[in-house]
Each structure stands twice: as C-alpha cells, then as structure tokens.
Amino acid sequence: MVYLHLSFQNRPKEFVAMSKYRIFALFLILIIVINLVAGTALAAPIKSVNLKFTEVSISLMKGEKTDLKTKLKSTVKVQYLFSTSNAKIASVTPAGIVTGIAPGKATVTASVSQKGYSGKASIVVQVVASTTSGGKTSVSAIPVFYTDKVLLDADIRKGLQNLFKKDYTKLTTEEIAQRDKLMNIDRQQLLIGLQAIVMKGAPSWSTSMVQDFAVHNLEDNIKDIAALFSNAGSDQASQRASLELLKAFNSDKALKAFGKLLMSSTDANLRYSLAYLISTYEGNSEALSILINATFKETDDKTWTNEAASLISVAGTDPTMINIVILTYGQFSDTKKTQFAGFFGYDDPARAELFKAWETTLNGNLQSSVDELKNASNTLLNDLKKFPHFKG
C-alpha cells in the first residue's frame, strides 16, 4: 500500500484550510468511484432466454391480424416488445399484434424487455393482397363447370405448375390470369380436382403444388375440404388426399376453422384427423382450449385418445400450459387417466426435453397449495414411474 504524506508546514493558514478541504473532497470522490465499480462487478449477470419463433415466416392477407406471441418460444417466461422493419407493409403493436397493411415483406422483431434477461428473435411477415384489382377479386359471377374431366385435370395442373413457389405479392400478369382461371372453376370441381391430383401422386411434387396453391387461395374453403374427407366414407385414399389439403393451413384463422369442425362434426374419423392438425399448434392457448373442450365432449374412444394425446403436444414444455393439462387430467375417469399416462410410455429421444419438462413440473406441484393440482400431479407421477425413463 502506498501512503501519501502531505505536509502543510510553512504554508499560510488559508492555503492549509483550502488544501484540507480539497483532499477530503478527493477522497470522497475516490470512495464513490470504488463503490460504483464494485457495484457494477457485483451486478447480477444478464440471462439469455434463447428466444425464437416457431416459424421462419408467416403470410397475412391485407387487413388480417395475428398475435405473434403465440409463435414465440423461450426457456424462461418473460415479457417482450415488438417492432417492425416496415410499418407500411406490416404494423405491429408493442404487445405483438401484427396487421397486414400492404403487399410486401417486413421483418418483425421481438426483444426481451424484462430486466435481467436478454433475447431477440425475428420473423418475416409476407403480406398478400386480398384482391387483384379495383378492390374485387377477378373471379366471374358464374363459375366455369367442366364436362371434360381430362381437360379439367390438365388445366388445374398447368395452373399449379405456373404458380408453384411463386411470390404471390409479385405475380406477373400471366400468373394472375392463371390464378384467376383456377379460382373461376366451380369450387367443388376445383377441390375434387385437387384431391384427385394428390391421390395420383404424379409427379412426385404434386402434393406440394396443391398445398402451395391451397394455402394462398383456399383458406376460406376449409369446411368444404373437410366435407370431401367425410364424403370419402371408407375410401382411405380419398381421405388421405383431403387431409393433405388440410395440412396446408396453419394460420390462426385455420385453427378457428379446425376448432369449429372438431366441435360440430358427426364424423369421428374427421374429428380424429382434426385433433392431429390442431396438435401442431404448440404453445397456442386457443388450440389447447379447443382440445380440452373436445376431450370432455368426445364419445368415440379412438378419437378421444388422439384429442387427449394432442394436449401434450400443444402444451409442449411450457409449465403454465402443462399445469392446465394436469388439472384437466384430474377430471378424467380413472380409466382415461391410465390411458393418458400411457401417452408417455414410449421412450422417444426426440421427446426427451418434453418429458423432462413434464417431470419437473409434476414434481414441483407436489408442494402446491392447490389441492387439485397437487393431487392430480401425484397420481400422474405414480403412473409414470412404471416407465423406465421416468424412474430417475
């Protein structure tokens, strides 16, 4: 340690007094600086939450809205703020409600706003014009009905090939004409024609072409496509083709349509398939609510099994959603509780993270002050312990 010796001998009294005050002030400043440095060093480290969107990009019609929070995943539940690269293309509220404003692409970024945490993720929002010109889609009032099925198939295939993987915000005049020609076909004929192309499977990318066209143009026809599934009866090839068409849709609007059909359809096979489609909406609270209601209404055992299993997929690794499912499980009959536990029986490495999240949440709930949650968690844990991958 270095000692500073200061002598004030032979100095005027005024100088000595002033120097003492200056030295005192100097020491005071030094103490403040040391405290600030120490405080900075001891500050809690910023934690990364591994923020990411579940999709790389989404497509919105002009004027359509969606909640981007439902498409976010992070290792910790935190608060976010959203911003857009171009508010003239897609506007977004700080809370994450994005609206399609004009055709084009914009990047929306979610940033963690909660103190002590960091993270940022971006998603591309592609806004598609809902009309071609003059405010109205160029579709004739009288649909075109084909009597020649071979010509119908040829015209649909030609249109699909010309439009496949095209940016719908930048269609050429010829491509718009091709799109309008397809959309002018009697809608039932068009849907049946698309179904037939999927069934034939030639060329090998036929299904992808059909799905690409459907997702851009036929979202309002989900109910009609579902009717094709039901009308197929025992024709499994036709059912599978209809399901491939339905798989094209993954928007919030599509989810609402799937939910309405799941709750209203009298076709158990369709309900079974709809549960599968809804299971792909991981982390979506509306999807979880739809499935919960379906499990309590379902009368078909096979379909109930798929609806209940889908609860696990939608809840994913989110503790809040897991607890909602656990409380739902607590209201099942003993037989159905055993069935539900069986969904965890297959030791799939791809689901290791999901299994760990459920096990952690269940064990934590054993200390819960909510009896229903604690009891349901205890019952499910006891059932899961019979599986080797849950004994640890």
**What pTM, to 2 d.p., does this model score?**
0.66
- Kindly report the backbone phi and psi dihedral angles of residue 212, in degrees, each rounded to the nearest multiple of 5, phi listed first: -60, -45
d(CA 215, CA 248): 6
pLDDT the model gives residue 357: 95
User: Do the strands 52-53 and 72-73 form a parallel or antiparallel pair, or are they unpaired?
Assistant: antiparallel
Nearest C-alpha neighbor of 341 from the set 318, 360, 352, 325:
325
d(CA 342, CA 354): 15
Contact 212, 205 (CB under 8 A): no
Segment (H or E) for 65: strand 65-67
pLDDT the model gives residue 65: 84
pLDDT the model gives residue 114: 86
Nearest C-alpha neighbor of 67 from the set 106, 101, 110, 103:
110
pLDDT the model gives residue 134: 35
d(CA 172, CA 170): 6
Other C-beta atoms lying within 10 Å of the C-beta of residue 31: 10
For the CA atoms of the chain, what is the radius of gyration?
Answer: 30
pLDDT the model gives residue 57: 75
Q: Which residues make Cβ contacts (< 8 Å) with residue 160, sequence separation at least 6?
A: 182, 197, 209, 210, 212, 213
DSSP string for 81-99: EEEES-TTTEEE-TTSEEE
Is the Cα torsion angle 320, 325, 330, 334 positive or negative in sign? negative
From first to last of the 392 residues of the chain, give the pLDDT tens digit: 444 455 545 555 554 454 555 555 555 555 554 554 444 444 567 888 888 888 777 767 778 788 898 888 888 888 889 999 999 999 999 989 999 898 888 999 999 988 888 889 999 887 766 544 433 445 555 788 999 999 999 999 999 999 999 999 898 988 998 999 999 999 999 999 999 999 999 889 999 999 999 999 999 999 999 999 999 988 999 999 999 999 999 999 999 999 999 999 999 999 999 999 999 999 999 999 999 999 999 999 999 999 999 999 999 999 999 999 999 999 999 999 999 999 999 888 999 999 999 999 999 999 999 999 999 999 999 999 999 888 65
